[in-house]
Amino acid sequence: MKTSLSKQQDNRKEIELFIGPQHPASGHMRFIGRVDGDIFTNFIPDPGWVHRGIEKIAENRKWIQIIPLVERAAILDAANMNIGYVIALEKLLDIEPPPRAQYLRTLLCEINRITSHLYGFGIAGIMIGSSTFYMWPFADREPLIDIAQLITGARLTYSYMIPGGVRRDLPQGFKEKALKALKYIERRLNNDYFRIFFDNPVTKARYQEVGVLKRDDAIRLGIVGPNLRASNVKYDVRKVEPYAAYPELEFDIAYEKEGDCYARLLVRVEEIRQSIKIIRQILDALPQGPIIHKKYEKLVSLRKLEEYQKTGIFGLPAIFTVLRPPAGEVISRVEAARGELIFHIISTGELRPYRLRMVTPSFRNIVLFRELISGARVMDFPAIYGSIDYFPPESDR
């Protein structure tokens, strides 16, 4: 299609518009559009500029080494990528992490969901020309990244979850710091963000009734995540197939009925509120106990065990270098920040997976570019792109 498009020169009324591939917005990505006047008559997304071949590399890595690898799909949503893979691996190994580990995992996932949505807001803001709303959410990620760094020791690439549990316990005085950060972000979101952006008539004029995705179309195209929920489909993996500590936590599915760009943004706002609610519940109801499965706790050296009991940092047992899950097939799904993340793993009982299939939410949303932008005006393109919250590295893998 890419080549055939440039060959079709018979219709002289239309011109071709190439957008990208040098980082047009949230990442390296090319779009090929045909423009008639101000209207896109055809619009083709062309991903693949940041393809790293995670699925192929994974076939050449040990099971434990894939944990940092899958995070690289979406660096700003690392914890959710991580938990999807670890859940799949745990199903193969047939182990269940202790409750405290489940809560800690959920905590990090929700912190990550907030930071990821804020990142999306920033990109959406700069795309319709609001540079203030580019700076604010990007800056306000920082307190949350800071508290994630307190838990894991890294800003973005956490590699926090391991089969059987998590690597570290919470440090001293974490709860106070986290509550402060939540209060800060809540105030900014509910007051400042609404005043300067979401309630701003300029924003509404750009977003409302633009790029409308109807409910049936969303289902037909297999859209996921906030984009699906903005079209009035109440599908959230955290409710449909609860994992980690989600069955014990109280939250609502954020959804909107309109299905336009503005609705997609509002769903993310509501999701941040729900995430804050979840984190507060976790901090209050964090169960005591070990952070790693008993089976692995026994396997670390005495020195490491002492350290674990003293500081809460669990050393990896040596068996992780030669982890051989039994042969089998496993499918896991989790709700990452941008939608449903699927891992389909085939194990043959070897040191490395036989096949690892990773379907990221952005890849499933890519079809939206063609569906929503064909027929839209040229200046609606940035508005629609920003509202989809598409992230090319996540899509390309």
Partner 1 sequence: MIIKIINNFYHHIRAILIGLKYLLSPGIRITLKYPDELPILPENYRGMLKLNNELCISCGLCSQICPAGAINLKLFEHEQTKQVGRHPEVDYKRCIFCGFCIDICPSKALELTRIHDAAFYVEDELYYEVNRLIIGPKIDPPCMRSKYVISEIDEVRGIVYRNA
Partner 2 sequence: MNIDEVSRVFKDLKSMIEPEAQISILSSNRLIITTSTDKLELIANLLKNYGFDHVKSVTAIDYPMKNIIEISYLISSFNNLNLSKIILTLKTLIDRNKSISKSLYKVWPSVEFLERETYDLMGVFFEEHPENTSLILPEDYKDIRPLRKDFKLIK
Residue ranges that bind partner 2, judged by CB under 8 A? 1-3, 46-48, 51, 53, 55-57, 60, 91, 218-222, 228, 233-235, 240-241, 329-331, 333, 340, 342, 344, 346, 354-355, 357, 359, 363-364, 366-367, 396
Please give the biggest Cα pair distance in the chain: 76
64 binds, among partner 2, partner 1, none (CB under 5 to 8 A by kind): partner 1
379 binds partner 1, rule: CB under 8 A? no
62 binds, among partner 2, partner 1, none (CB under 5 to 8 A by kind): partner 1
Mark out the alpha helices in the chain (DSSP H runs): 2-7, 54-58, 66-71, 78-93, 99-127, 132-152, 174-187, 201-207, 215-221, 226-229, 237-240, 261-285, 294-297, 302-311, 361-365, 367-373, 380-388, 392-396
Q: How far apart are CA 57 and CA 8, in angstroms?
A: 38
Q: How many CB atoms lie within 10 A of CB 42?
A: 17
| Phi and psi torsions of 258, nearest 5° | -70, -45
Judge whether 148 and 171 are in contact, CB under 8 Å. Answer: no
Judge whether 384 and 210 are in contact, CB under 8 Å. Answer: yes
| Torsion sign, CA atoms 184, 185, 190, 192 | positive
280 binds, among partner 2, partner 1, none (CB under 5 to 8 A by kind): none
Binding residue for partner 1 (CB under 8 A) from 192, 248, 258, 270? Answer: 192
Judge whether 15 and 35 are in contact, CB under 8 Å. Answer: yes
131 binds, among partner 1, partner 2, none (CB under 5 to 8 A by kind): none
Within residues 160-189, the interface with partner 1 by CB under 8 A covers: 167-168, 171, 177, 180-181, 183-184, 187-188
By CB under 8 A, the count of residues binding partner 1 is 55
Binding residue for partner 1 (CB under 8 A) from 19, 29, 54, 69? Answer: 69
CB of 394 to partner 1, least distance (A): 18
Judge whether 23 and 50 are in contact, CB under 8 Å. Answer: no
CB of 343 to partner 1, least distance (A): 17
Q: Which two tokens stand for residue 91?
A: 């199903």
Binding residues for partner 1 (CB under 8 A): 61-62, 64-69, 132, 139-140, 142-143, 146-147, 149-150, 152-154, 157, 159, 167-168, 171, 177, 180-181, 183-184, 187-188, 191-192, 195-197, 199-202, 300-301, 303-304, 307, 311, 313-318, 320-321
